[in-house]
Amino acid sequence: MATDAARLPAPPGAGVARPAPAAPALAPADDADVHEYRWLILLGLITAAIMEVLDTTIVNVALPQMAGNLGATYDEIAWVATGYILSNVVVLPMTAFFTATFGRKNYLTFSIGLFAFASFMCGTSHTLIELVMWRVVQGAGGAALLSTAQATLRQVFPREQQGLVQALFILGIIVAPTIGPTLGGWITDNYNWNWIFFINIPIAAVSIFLVTGFLHDPPWMRRKPEGVDLPGIMLLIVGLASLQYVLEEGKRFDWFENRTIVRLAILSSICLLSMLWWELSRRNPHPVVNFRVLRNKQLSASIFLFIALGFGLYGGVFIFPLFTQNLLGFTATETGLALLPGGLATALAAIISGRLLNGAKPLVDGRVLIAVGVGIFLVSMWMLGHLTTQAGEPDARFALFIRGLGLGFLFTPINNVAYGALEPRDAQQASGLINLARQLGGSFGIAVLNTYVTNHTQLHRVDLLNYVYSYNPRVLERLHMVASGLMAHGYSALDAQRAAVGVLDQMLMRQATMLAFNDAWMLILISFVVTAPAILLLGKPRVGGAGAGAGH
């Protein structure tokens, strides 16, 4: 079978003896030996990615049952989700360092195995401390299943196939958070919460088999570590862990009214700024995070867009169940089913994007698809931001379907543009930063929207109370109508009047909450409008970007 390497022109100076460089410029050609099995490798990496992303949301619906079984409070059991995200965020930017130190295949295999082992230990945990500890380990193992896996696909597949390949990989990243609550609720209702973790084991076994059997490291990747950036690692761990804790726990402790939150916010700022300075310093010969890749304006603009995408994706998935169950009266199952068409729409749009971007000469400029995706997403946010308390499941489902289409037309093209301007050897570092941006954007989205809905509910309640006074004819009419209905069911006139006031208060609170959720959807819309100009900084991916077989 002729490989891509065999079709390459001879480099200048062929036949002249010279020392072999440590990292050849033709690094991607060394992946030619895995091209025959690249679709099996893709299958192994997609299953690993789905498994990892699914675990960020699948546990949410099982938390009440976990709390009851383990004798924990709601605040305590929330650490099952927080611990996972904390460790995941900390490890993501270091995946390039671990890949370079231990090798791509070894690091991926170890991470999948660690994730599966931690999943088993989570399922067999009998105390809250055990469960949280193993969730932290699970999150650390899961970082490579996104970052290193995505970079590997950039190095293994040729440039002309990157559009379709990245579309298929991204399906797992954006569809899994949508189906996670539905699957988690079904498992919890029909079995018990332990099986949420046990289902990872057979998936991990398939992934390990495919990765170990068909993925091999090219020679340029097999090197011994030149040095360990301990100051950078420590600053990164403390800075990101502190930031993530502030985002996860800030609302519960009333944000900066709490001393611990204030101190951790200051500590996070100092550590992350110090890390940025140290990683860019000439005195640091082996930075754990190579921020110099951000000199590429297309990558920087893509990361900026991914922060907004994480904000809208994870923030929206977080507030939608609260919106439907608290206001529209949906059950957990109905909420999951309402989310499902949106996930399918995302899959459809991502595949269409991949096909349009596939090939040496894509049919459509990726920037056009990104602009289309932003437009569709804005329409969906406008629809959700104008629902009323009378809205039903079809209204919400249709708006989410439009939202899903928009997301599908965003993720694949942005990935394609971001990686297309990079050298293959920079793909791993870029992948860690891209996935970190998406995860932190989601954490910011959840934290901001959660607080935003609470505060705006109170603001709208105060505003609506200005219209509730004794001589307002609409108020008197509503009170009379409710009281008459209660008297018809046997209430005395006095009890009916008191009950009518309570009913009116509930109606007013429901309307205030509805307006607050409308504001939240419009806030997501505004965040996309603000970040949309970053599209202008994007350019066409140059031929020979971060894809195997390109630009040799």
In order, the DSSP letters of 113-135 are HHHHHHHHHHHT--SHHHHHHHH
Structure tokens at 247: 């985002």
By CB neighbour count within 10 A (0-12 exposed, 13-18 middle, 19+ buried), where does 446 fall? buried
pLDDT means per 10 residues in the chain (552 residues)?
40 41 40 68 86 76 76 75 80 82 87 93 89 90 83 78 76 69 71 83 90 77 64 84 82 82 90 86 76 80 84 79 74 70 82 77 79 90 85 78 87 77 72 80 82 86 73 64 65 65 72 88 89 76 43 28
Determine the Cα–Cα distance for residues 67 and 62; give it in Å rounded to an integer. Answer: 9
Give the span between the Cα atoms of 260 and 324, in whole angstroms.
33
Token representation of residue 133: 């500890």
DSSP state of 360: S
Neighbouring CB atoms inside 10 A of 52's CB total: 27
Distances (CA, A) of 233 to 95, 115, 285, 439: 12, 22, 14, 19
Residues 231 and 49: beta-carbon distance below 8 Å: no
Between the alpha carbon of residue 349 and those of residues 165, 321, 346, the distances in Å are 14, 24, 5
pLDDT at 223: 57
Residue 158's SS3 state is strand
What span, in angstroms and rounded, lies between the C-alpha atoms of 223 and 128?
Answer: 41
For residue 423, the SS3 value is: coil
Longest dimension (CA), the chain: 105
Q: Which CA distances in Å does 3 have to 6, 136, 335, 358?
A: 5, 42, 49, 20
Q: What pLDDT does 457 receive?
A: 87
pLDDT for residue 29: 42
pLDDT at 20: 38
DSSP for 184-209 reads: HHHHHHHS-TTHHHHTHHHHHHHHHH
Residue 33: φ, ψ to 5°: -70, -15
DSSP per residue, 426-473: GHHHHHHHHHHHHHHHHHHHHHHHHHHHHHHHHHHHHHHHTT--TT-H
pLDDT at 496: 65
Alpha helices in 466-492 (DSSP H): 473-488
pLDDT at 138: 92
Give the per-residue pLDDT at 548: 39
Q: What is the distance between the alpha carbons of residues 215 and 237, in angstroms, rounded to a whole number?
A: 30
The closest alpha carbon to 36, from 219, 213, 207, 159, belongs to 213
Q: Looking at residue 60, what DSSP letter applies?
A: G
- Reference 438, options 88, 132, 163; nearest CA is 88
Q: Which of 381, 328, 351, 330 lies closest to 530 in space, CA to CA?
A: 381
The reported pLDDT for the residue numbered 481 is 66
**For residue 501, what pLDDT is reported?**
63
Tokens in use for 258?
């709490």
3-class state of residue 548 by DSSP: strand
pLDDT at residue 552, as a whole number: 26
- Nearest by Cα to 525 from 401, 403, 370: 403
Write the CB contacts of 545 (distance below 8 Å, at least 6 apart in sequence): 159, 162, 419, 420, 421, 422, 551
Structure tokens at 263: 């101190």
Whole-model pTM: value is: 0.72
Collapsing DSSP states into helix, strand and coil, what is residue 213? helix
Closest CA to 424 of 13, 113, 29: 29
Task: Return the half-sphere exposure (C-beta side, CA atoms, 13 A cut-off) of residue 412.
Answer: 38
Compute the Cα dihedral for 360, 365, 367, 371 and give only its sign.
Answer: negative
What whole-number distance in Å separates Cα of residue 179 and Cα of residue 91? 25
